[in-house]
A and B are shown apart, each in its own frame.
Chain A
């Protein structure tokens, strides 16, 4: 057995079913050995999307997604995908081929110091210099990626190590990491303190972030909120923790969120932040969430607590464990009055849009789409105006909502949807992007065709880089610079070129028929919606 075979054995032992990748000489031993395995390979059309696709897998399965690329440009291309996953704490295993270990550091063809380059975007990285280390390194990498605060781990393997003979392959049962021991269980004293505050509070609120989804604590959180009637808001990454139409859910916070959600958070007297970073887009003024209120900050990463806002009660641990502990506590509370206030905010503060009837109204369209989607369907939003509309108007029922929140990487939706679909073939997966973000990933239409990955794609076309245009509209008084997308391809012809069925929606008149046709079958289809180029999210 050689190193490359050992890598495949490790992936099999971890239950990996799909590897997204792009070959080159330095990773060829790996792609040669994978042919003898059940693991499916998907040839992505650019390496960045291999990481996005793996991210889609991870977010559907709760297990690290895997991508494999070659050395040099292959490795550097994948960095944006890794950084995107890192910003959202998505577990990835990223395997990069490397030049012969004896040539390392001599600037040979396609050599890049990838472990050094990617350092600030990975949870950990390995450069494997001994073939016998492969089983231990992979065991550790999967463990590190998927425990504590999750994140990407990169494993760089020189081609000679992939080709070296490994004696006695044995995949370790357990990891032995002296230096890495994440705290999972919340401190009992702190938990009691939170319960005590809940008993005292008149206006409590839970703000759920992406960490709740990563620890799969949705049910616990929802159960706890329902039992005691505690209202919930979420960050962008926390969308999906609560069904959108749940009576206790008051929408997404932040400068692109719902006004009533922000008001609810600011007027609360007890704010329980869970699995959220208190980053600038969700909380633009951290002092507002500490002023006149008790802030409880729950996070598995102690470094997040106190980074942007000093909490009254820090609570380090995994959200699932902590909410299980909360559920064991009994206490009396009555927040009826607070709920009534919030309901009034919700019914009176929803922003009224004045859509242009000549175009598709993205807000109404997205709501209509979510009504027609399967209950457990997966909605993958891209980045830009389309993302803000998706966050604001998509109705999550039992499905998932995926997007690139922390990094805001355009082009995320199509590859992530591909990953999500390969991980859950029985689910409806829809990527919704703008015409800018679509063109950042449209090469993946070939991958979709080649591997028959039936994801549905919606392009909200407004002929502009809308989010930046909107910024220029407000900040530079319509002095538009480098945001016009003229020259974009005719999507009908493009779809035909890829042999992908195409539909167009010009305005809201035929929205039902078109959506019914679009969603009728579990196949790939591209739906282009014509949006008013001057439409604004704010």
Chain B
């Protein structure tokens, strides 16, 4: 996964002439990548809830050298199906291949891009903050203030820690984590990766039997 990413990043260096480009066959490969720049994309999959389906999909990504930035999966209202949201990156050619190769898997009912202009993305994060018993009140008030500003919530209070829950888009989650890291001692952190839905009713995939 990482290798192809590095290849692509290097390719853009060659195009910008910041690094000496390799010759011959190698160069062609980079020229191919060079046709377009790397971009992030969110794919939404609807898959048959068969055993091993997640490993079939993640295996395809690692086998073909595609990058996964995050992957989330959960059963839908119809228990026969699972919805999977994958954040991936690559140039146009790679992203097209990802869509085709994933779409080809027997268990995959549907794959579509969640266009950022026309979708909502959400990510959940839980942050466990250390609370020094001597400065308990001060820290608690500070965390509450910060949480309120982000519209996050304190969902658990321990003798020496607090757990804050926050749901938002990817960059806001990053911002919140950064603030907490700067101002408090973060003991543990868990984030889910992006899940999302397209807006409106035009792009809903209906399941026919």
Interface residues of A (CB under 8 A from B): 115-116, 119-120, 123-124, 127, 144, 176-180, 285, 287, 301-303, 306-307, 310
List the 4 shortest-distance A-B pairs measured between CB atoms, nearest first: A303-B100, A179-B109, A124-B106, A180-B106
Are A307 and B97 interface neighbours, CB within 8 A?
Answer: yes
Interface residues of B (CB under 8 A from A): 28, 47-48, 51-52, 55-56, 59, 63, 93, 96-97, 100-101, 103-104, 106-109, 207-209
Are B48 and A178 interface neighbours, CB within 8 A?
Answer: yes
Are A179 and B51 interface neighbours, CB within 8 A?
Answer: no
A425–B107 alpha-carbon span in the complex (Å): 38
Contact of B208 among A116, A178, A303 (CB under 8 A): A178
Are B51 and A127 interface neighbours, CB within 8 A?
Answer: yes
Are A119 and B59 interface neighbours, CB within 8 A?
Answer: yes
The residue of chain B having its C-beta at the shortest distance from the C-beta of A125 within the complex is B52
Are B108 and A179 interface neighbours, CB within 8 A?
Answer: yes
Q: Which of B47, B56, B97, B208 has the most CB of A within 10 A?
A: B56
The residue of chain A having its C-beta at the shortest distance from the C-beta of B56 within the complex is A119
Q: Which residues of A contact B63 (CB under 8 A)?
A: 120
11 A-B pairs in the complex with CB atoms less than 8 angstroms apart: A115-B52, A120-B59, A127-B52, A178-B48, A178-B109, A179-B108, A301-B104, A303-B103, A303-B104, A306-B100, A307-B97
Instruction: For the complex formed, measure the closest distance between the CB of B51 and the CB atoms of chain A, giving whole angstroms.
Output: 7
Q: Which residues of A contact B96 (CB under 8 A)?
A: 306
A144-B106, A306-B93 given; 12 more Cβ-contact pairs under 8 Å: A116-B55, A120-B59, A124-B106, A178-B209, A179-B106, A179-B109, A285-B28, A301-B104, A306-B97, A306-B100, A307-B97, A307-B100
Instruction: For the complex formed, measure the closest distance between the CB of B48 and the CB atoms of chain A, giving whole angstroms.
Output: 5
Q: Which residues of B contact A302 (CB under 8 A)?
A: 100, 103-104
Q: Which residues of B contact A307 (CB under 8 A)?
A: 97, 100
Contact of B101 among A119, A176, A177, A303 (CB under 8 A): A303
Instruction: For the complex formed, measure the closest distance between the CB of A4 and the CB atoms of chain B, giving whole angstroms.
Output: 22
Contact of B55 among A119, A285, A301 (CB under 8 A): A119
Instruction: For the complex formed, measure the closest distance between the CB of A305 and the CB atoms of chain B, giving whole angstroms.
Output: 8
A179–B81 alpha-carbon span in the complex (Å): 11
Q: Which residues of B contact A127 (CB under 8 A)?
A: 51-52
Instruction: For the complex formed, measure the closest distance between the CB of B64 and the CB atoms of chain A, giving whole angstroms.
Output: 9
A310–B94 alpha-carbon span in the complex (Å): 12
Instruction: For the complex formed, measure the closest distance between the CB of B95 and the CB atoms of chain A, giving whole angstroms.
Output: 11
The residue of chain A having its C-beta at the shortest distance from the C-beta of B53 within the complex is A179
Q: Which residues of B contact A310 (CB under 8 A)?
A: 93
Q: Which residues of B contact A115 (CB under 8 A)?
A: 52
A306–B108 alpha-carbon span in the complex (Å): 21
